Homo-oligomer: A and B are copies of this chain.
């Protein structure tokens, strides 16, 4: 049996860098699919392309317009291939109109000196926090096992006092468990609910405008993580003018930094 994540990002090659896919009800969001699954699907097109060299280093996805439930096409074009890096341009089209675009950098990792300057959250085990009060079509949170250490999903029916910050920390993995790879990691980087929900403890219409993820771990390190939960941390830096940013870190259970991610989000208050 295939995993729902692999079903959701499945792409059928049509030749010439064009692929066909279809949205998956299991990863539905308020409007269209969960942004993380769209990000993974775009990355997947570059991954599947016969010209692809190396593994993902960076991904930027621009959410240009709503993705509607149903079929879509993804175009992947290798802009340039260098000795260490390869640059991709990606586009998701519905009815020939771009709903999302992306750029990806693939490359070869070499053994070099290394250091991590930021520090992971204390590795408390975390407690399962059920997600309440979502519209039935918001299915994607059920595709993840989420154990929050801090900043769990707010219950808008019983709002808490506004916290001083928008931080969340949680243990997260695919549900059902699936071995970690760059495709799953790209989606997990976007699996933090909008920081304004946490900061203001009220429902606020919000949508990611652009999302960039930097992969710090190679395929072997992700394979070693296997199906065990990773530790995520997210917070906003600034809200104002109808937009906020949100940064995330994903740590392995061996306290190794796997990825960092940054996004700009539209909100309406």
Contacts and interface: CB of A to CB of B under 8 A. Distances in A.
Interface of A: 57-58, 60, 62, 64-65, 79-80, 82, 84-85, 87, 89, 97-99, 101, 103, 105, 107-118, 165-166, 199-200, 209-210, 212, 214, 216, 218, 235-243, 245, 249, 257, 260, 262, 264, 266-269
Residue from A110, A112, A268 whose CB has the most chain B CB atoms within 10 Å: A112
Contact of A269 (B113, B166, B245): B113
B117 A240 contact: no
Contacts of A262: 212, 214, 260, 262
B105 A103 contact: no
A35 B62 CA distance: 22
Given A103-B210, A115-B239, A216-B238, 7 more contacts: A58-B210, A84-B266, A101-B103, A105-B264, A109-B242, A210-B212, A216-B243
A98 to B, nearest CB: 5
Contact of A240 (B114, B209, B236, B241): B114
B62 A242 contact: no
Given A101-B103, A209-B105, A82 B65 contact: yes
B58 A264 contact: yes
B243 A57 contact: yes
Residue from A212, A237, A243, A257 whose CB has the most chain B CB atoms within 10 Å: A243
